[in-house]
Chains A and B, each alone.
Chain A
Amino acid sequence: MKDFKVLEIKTSVFADNNLQAGKLREELKEKKVFLLNLMSSPGAGKTTTLVRTINGLKDDLKIGVMEADIDSDVDARTISQTGAKAIQLHTGGMCHLDAQMTRQGLEGLDPDGLDLVILENVGNLVCPAEFDTGAVKNAMILSVPEGDDKPLKYPLMFSICDVVLINKMDVLPYFNFDLEKCKENIRLRNPNAIIIPISALKKEGIKEWTDWLHNAVKSWCE
C-alpha cells in the first residue's frame, strides 16, 4: 500500500497571488513607480475619469496606462490621445487581473521613467476585489445610476478601496440617489475610505481627486 500523507495547511487559496503582489509592490517601490488599480462596474466611467486624471497631472507626472477593461483597443486608443503611454492587455475573457498578469502588463508597458501607472481593471465589482494586483493603492468608481446601496451589496470591493469616486454627479437630480446615505454605506464597509463626488463628464471634483493622487504618488516615490 502506498504511503498516504495529509498536509493540513489552512492557507487561503489566494496565498500565492498575495505573495506575488507583495513582491511586485516591493519592486515598484525600488523603481519609484506608483501603480494605481482602478475598478468599477462596466460603464461607471473609468476611461472618462482616466482621461481627466491624465490631463490634470500630465504636466507634473509621467503617466502610463494599462487597459484591461474589454478585449478591444478602443479604450487604449482613447487614452493614447492624451499623450500618455498606453497599452491594451488582453485578458482572454478573464474577469479580473491577478498579480502575475499585472506584472506581464507592466513589462509590456516598460515603466522605467514613469511616475504613475494606472491599471483600468476589468469592469466588475466581485472578482477584482479578491485579487491583489500589486497596486500601491486601489480606487473604485461608483456611478450615481448604480444606486446608493451598492456598498451594501459588494462589501469586499468597498472594504479594499482607498478611494471611492462617486461619478456622474451631473445626473443626480434624475435618480433616486441619496449622497449622504451612500457615503454612510461606504463608511460601514470602510471607515477609512476617501470619498470624492465627481462628474467626469463636466470635469467637476477632478481637482480634489488628482490632488489626492498626486500626493500619494509623491510620498511613494520619495
Chain B
Amino acid sequence: MHELGVLNSMVHTIERIVKEQNVTEVSKLVIEVGELSGIVPRYLEQSWPAASYKTFMEKTELELIVIPGIVKCKGCGRVFNAVYSDLSCPDCGSSDMEILEGDDMIIKEILCC
C-alpha cells in the first residue's frame, strides 16, 4: 500500500513541525497532491484512518487539493497537461518534457487549536 507509507511519512513530518510550534492538537490538514506524483488522492483518503490510527491526528480531517500535472515540451515549447496527453506532446509527439507543476505532495496548511 503505497499511499499508507506516504501518509506514515507525512505524520512523522507533521509531528516534528507541530512540536516546534508547541501545538498538540491538529483539527485539519490541507495537502496538495500533484497529478504526476504517482500518489492517488482516492487511496490517500481511504488510507487516512489507518495512517492516523493511534496517533495525535486520529481526529484530524484531511483535505486534498489536486494540482494538475503541467509540463513543457522540450521539443516545441508547448505547455500542456501531461496526464490528459498520455505523457507525450499533443503537437510534436515528443516525450522529452520538463515538469513545471504537479510532481510533488506538499503539506500546505496545518490547522491547530
Contact = CB atoms under 8 A, between A and B. Distances in A.
Interface string B15-40: 11110010100000001000010100
B95 to A, nearest CB: 5
Interface residue range, chain B: 20 to 34
Given A11-B13, A14-B105, A96-B2, 6 more contacts: A5-B111, A9-B17, A10-B107, A12-B106, A14-B9, A16-B13
B42 interface: no
Contacts of A155: 36
A118 B21 CA distance: 38
Interface residue range, chain A: 20 to 34
Interface of A is mostly: mixed
Contacts of A5: 21, 23, 111-113
B106 to A, nearest CB: 6
Interface in B5-64: 5-7, 9-10, 12-13, 15-18, 21, 23, 31, 36, 38
Nearest to B18: A7
Given A4-B113, A10-B107, A127-B2, A188 B95 contact: yes
B91 interface: no
Interface of B: 1-2, 5-7, 9-10, 12-13, 15-18, 21, 23, 31, 36, 38, 87, 95-96, 103-113
B2 A126 contact: yes
- The 4 residue pairs across chains A and B that have the minimum distance between CB atoms: A16-B13, A13-B10, A7-B110, A16-B12
A152 B82 CA distance: 12
